[in-house]
């Protein structure tokens, strides 16, 4: 074999190895991106479920505490903000507002023992707590997927190719006011 042929085979081998690496990296990034998109979809489903429960909860409390209009308008505004949020950054802000609004409505409910004895209110509270737990679980799953995806994009040598292939880092779903969500809305009877 002459030297030119050996150099050509080595060059082809390197191009093949590079091609396999780029192909494998691309496929793994696509897989992680789809996983993150799926996790975000799970969060939006749970946020929508909670938003669907809010009007019934407000109506239930309104029947006992109609004079608490400020609380009801705050809850309605937070619900609208949650529904219209586009992406993790806006959803994070909306989530903080929703948690504060829910704390307010449950504080009002504590002042009305008849309301706390209402089966409808108890069922709505139970569903809301269940939904809050699902939102937290979905958020952890989403943030784990984002962490894995962002890490894959940032490590060398993936960082050389990822941007050129259209992969951008994703935002975590973090709440601005961590204290607002550090505990679920308190429900006492």
Domain ranges of the chain: 3-181
Q: How confident is the model at residue 183 (pLDDT cuts 50, 70, 90)?
A: low
The 10s digit of each residue's pLDDT in 25-53 is: 999 999 999 999 999 999 999 999 999 98
Quickly state the pLDDT bin for 114 (edges 50, 70, 90). confident
Which CATH number is correct for 3-181, 2.130.10.30, 1.20.1440.20, 1.10.10.1100, 2.170.190.11? 1.20.1440.20
Separation between Cα atoms, residue 81 and residue 54, nearest integer Å: 13
Other Cβ atoms closer than 10 A to 82: 22
């Amino acid at each position: 074999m002459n030297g030119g042929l050996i150099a050509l085979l080595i060059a082809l081998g390197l191009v093949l190895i590079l091609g396999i690496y780029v192909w494998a990296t691309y496929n793994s990034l696509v897989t992680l991106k789809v996983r993150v998109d799926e996790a975000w979809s799970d969060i939006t489903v749970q946020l929508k479920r909670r938003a669907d429960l809010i009007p019934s909860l407000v109506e239930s409390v309104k029947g006992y505490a109609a004079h608490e209009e400020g609380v009801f308008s705050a809850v309605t505004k937070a619900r609208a903000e949650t529904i219209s949020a586009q992406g993790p950054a806006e959803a994070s802000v909306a989530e903080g507002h929703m948690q504060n609004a829910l704390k307010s409505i449950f504080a009002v409910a504590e002042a009305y023992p008849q309301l706390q004895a209402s089966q409808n209110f108890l069922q709505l509270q139970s569903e809301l707590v269940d939904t809050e737990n699902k939102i937290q679980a979905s958020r952890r799953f989403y943030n784990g997927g984002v962490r894995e995806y962002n890490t894959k994009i940032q490590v060398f040598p993936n960082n050389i190719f990822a941007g050129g292939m259209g992969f951008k880092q994703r935002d975590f779903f973090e709440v601005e006011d961590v204290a607002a969500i550090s505990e679920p809305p308190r429900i006492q009877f």
